[in-house]
Chains A and B, each alone.
Chain A
């Protein structure tokens, strides 16, 4: 029964993919979208069943389909592990996935390749599910690569624009660097532990018999590189902002809510390994904190509405990694969930705005949309409040937990995280004020067509906004349902509930005041003074550096891409020429030899005979002289 249901859970989106990719065009747009959405809803329903089941029984379900690889004592099963963590993850992957599919029916309706879009989205959900429920690292790796592929396909979905193709390639290549790290990590884990099955690994590590510290540290570093690639951490984060080239539902689903959290999922899955490598944990925390600050500062001056959200995503992911590095895995998971709610809502809301303005993404040409698009406005406002960390919305609770943990761990990291949060509040409300308040700055033509989006678009927005508002309830400090739920997954962890003492209340107050200050500054600047960022060329000083994203792309270009191109050119122009001269040399020598040898063959019998006799005489005389 469980096996069948698990198969339904994972194969439904694959079925949708196959239908859409092969018959999508004949099915027509509406049916194609309906199939895509329905298959994900099926997955969601099955997940819900398992989820309710596990909250009652508290028993992880292991589904083993068959032996996959068996080499002497190293065995890999093909199976699924439906435990507390994976089911929680599936809940929001399939849930938000279904909502975004629904949204896409309307959003992509004018696209001629809509069936392909749904096929890719379904494929993505399929791979994401296999990433989450795989029972060992290898199945997770399949999903990991699969979602990377879908990300590539969907970023480059509008393939006629070369910039979008470049963005897709960039995402794919950046991810490959991380994937290599993950792969090396898997190899080391397999080598050290002789198994890559999650449950077995956990048993071995928790038994405490394994103290191969050096290899575990190396494995943790390699795995973290994998996570940094997928979850867009320094130094591999530059692909995520460019990934906004894809259609907006893709940005919401893949590049905000689900795929980019895969790194956090993987680290949480293997938390017992990372616990054994405190140095790596520190590195994760520091990199997470720096990423969150750097990305937040870049987001301050971006003018593309999706770019702001993209950098915001990188920044929030950085906060999650900060929590992971502090060993507060359940808090990271909490923030993943709340972030999925409000960031998906924000992206879908921005999609709604872009849709209404006929693909205008520049905030300088928006403004005053509040009246024309009330639902989009209210949902986005709620989500912005949530991400800024305003009491009592979802973001407040999760971000606050992270900052509290950071405060108890290392005050410097707390300062960095708090700064990032203040910046978050500022840039989110900058976005809100520029988009929805004051007067419309677009063309008259656009103004005439301003309209609220249809129900298929607003419904997911409303659902997500509600979730972003109340999502924090799943883990209130002192009475955390989430911690309670995840407790069986962390059997060796003392349940650390932050006792709500004076310090905690002060920290909460500081965070809230910080957020309000950020909002206040944004209000003063963009609402009261009605400032609008000028054209690209008018940025000066720090803003210019920030607007150009610290020139990181240019630096990478100079450090990696150009030298590699130069090296390739060198190999092409010199080494390859030399090698081919060598190889062709053999041919030329052989050719020359035979050309010269050919001249001996005159065809004159007399000459042959003469040579024959001379040779014969030579042989005879040689024999006689020797003897």
Chain B
């Protein structure tokens, strides 16, 4: 079977992952809407998943691909919980701006 890595080199996948991850990080850091922060987290997760799959193919080892399934399952659960929290937060303070969530101030 033809290896996809023969057409596009592994380093490109790494670059793409790093770029996606950085986008995610900056999204988390700079956006104040909680939903977008969430999306940014998802982007980071998926960047890692992409890297998993790429290296899995590179090493001819299926473990990485299996791990991605777990990762996606956990991410789905996290989103469910996270969105539920957001709904609760919105009901309480009428906003989902993370800058307003300051009740834990010491």
Instruction: Please report A residues at the B interface, Cβ cutoff 8 Å.
Output: 598-606, 609-610, 613
**B29 — which chain A residues lie within 8 A by C-beta?**
606, 609-610, 613
Whether B25 and A613, one on each chain, are in contact in the complex, defined by CB atoms closer than 8 angstroms, is yes
A606-B29, A609-B29, A610-B29 known; A600 vs B99 contact (CB < 8 Å): no
B88 at the interface (CB under 8 A from A): no
Q: Which of B83-104 contact A (CB under 8 A)?
A: 98-99, 101-104
**B101 — which chain A residues lie within 8 A by C-beta?**
603, 605
**A610 — which chain B residues lie within 8 A by C-beta?**
29
Whether A601 and B105, one on each chain, are in contact in the complex, defined by CB atoms closer than 8 angstroms, is yes
Whether B98 and A603, one on each chain, are in contact in the complex, defined by CB atoms closer than 8 angstroms, is no
Who on chain B is nearest to A605 by CB?
A: B98
Whether B99 and A606, one on each chain, are in contact in the complex, defined by CB atoms closer than 8 angstroms, is yes
How far does the alpha carbon of A602 sit from the alpha carbon of B101 in the complex, in Å? 10
Contact check: which of B25, B28, B104 meets A601 at CB < 8 Å?
A: B104
Q: Which of B28-62 contact A (CB under 8 A)?
A: 28-29, 32
* B58-79 near A? 1/0 per residue, CB < 8 Å: 0000000000000000000000
Contact check: which of B28, B102, B103, B104 meets A609 at CB < 8 Å?
A: B28
What are the 6 closest A-B residue pairs judged by CB atoms, nearest first? A601-B106, A603-B105, A603-B102, A605-B98, A598-B106, A603-B104
- What are 28 sample pairs from A and B whose C-beta atoms fall under 8 A apart? A598-B106, A600-B106, A601-B104, A601-B105, A601-B106, A602-B102, A602-B105, A602-B106, A603-B101, A603-B102, A603-B104, A603-B106, A604-B98, A604-B99, A604-B102, A604-B105, A605-B98, A605-B99, A605-B101, A606-B29, A606-B32, A606-B98, A606-B99, A609-B28, A609-B29, A613-B25, A613-B28, A613-B29
> What is the distance, in angstroms, from A137's C-beta to the closest C-beta of chain B?
66
> What is the distance, in angstroms, from A620's C-beta to the closest C-beta of chain B?
12
**B102 — which chain A residues lie within 8 A by C-beta?**
602-604
Instruction: Please report B residues at the A interface, Cβ cutoff 8 Å.
Output: 25, 28-29, 32, 98-99, 101-106
**A601 — which chain B residues lie within 8 A by C-beta?**
104-106
**B25 — which chain A residues lie within 8 A by C-beta?**
613
> What is the distance, in angstroms, from B14's C-beta to the closest C-beta of chain A?
15
**B105 — which chain A residues lie within 8 A by C-beta?**
601-604
Who on chain B is nearest to A604 by CB?
A: B102
Contact check: which of B28, B32, B103 meets A603 at CB < 8 Å?
A: B103
**A599 — which chain B residues lie within 8 A by C-beta?**
106
How far does the alpha carbon of A601 sit from the alpha carbon of B101 in the complex, in Å? 13
Known A-B contacts: A604-B102, A609-B29. Give 18 more (CB < 8 A). Answer: A599-B106, A601-B104, A602-B105, A603-B101, A603-B102, A603-B103, A603-B104, A603-B105, A604-B98, A604-B105, A605-B99, A605-B101, A606-B29, A606-B32, A606-B98, A606-B99, A610-B29, A613-B28
> What is the distance, in angstroms, from B40's C-beta to the closest C-beta of chain A?
10
**B32 — which chain A residues lie within 8 A by C-beta?**
606
How far does the alpha carbon of A568 sit from the alpha carbon of B104 in the complex, in Å? 51
How far does the alpha carbon of A601 sit from the alpha carbon of B102 in the complex, in Å? 10
Who on chain B is nearest to A613 by CB?
A: B25
**B28 — which chain A residues lie within 8 A by C-beta?**
609, 613
**A602 — which chain B residues lie within 8 A by C-beta?**
102, 105-106
**B99 — which chain A residues lie within 8 A by C-beta?**
604-606
> What is the distance, in angstroms, from A20's C-beta to the closest C-beta of chain B?
67
How far does the alpha carbon of A609 sit from the alpha carbon of B32 in the complex, in Å? 12
How far does the alpha carbon of A613 sit from the alpha carbon of B25 in the complex, in Å? 8
